[in-house]
Amino acid sequence: MSKIELEKNQVDHPKKPNRLGFMADAETALKDLLATGQGYDAEDVHSYIRNKIEGKNPAKPKSKYIL
């Protein structure tokens, strides 16, 4: 989907999340991962999110070298 299509979709559906911002954040995160080799283990992130949903106060996942 082109940037113009994404912008049109945002205008057509203003209550939907901003996809351009989401994609920009994802690209930045990928660049950081490739530059540093550090990221978050998916299992750690999923566990953190599950615990937050359950009303617990878990420690945030720690980044680690994954590349």
DSSP code string of 26-37? HHHHHHHHHHH-
The verdict on pTM exceeding 0.75 is no
Q: What is the average pLDDT across 39-44?
A: 94
> What is the distance between the alpha carbons of residues 29 and 35, in angstroms, rounded to a whole number?
10
Instruction: Give dist(CA 60, CA 38) in Å, integer.
Output: 15
Q: What are 10-41's pLDDT values in tens digits? A: 555 556 667 788 899 999 999 999 999 999 99
Whose tokens are 């559906």? That residue is: 13
Domain map (residue ranges) of the chain: 1-36, 38-67
- In angstroms, how far is the first alpha carbon of the chain from the final one? 29
- pLDDT value for 63: 93
Predicted local confidence at residue 20, as pLDDT: 82
Between residues 18 and 48, the one the model is more confident about: 48
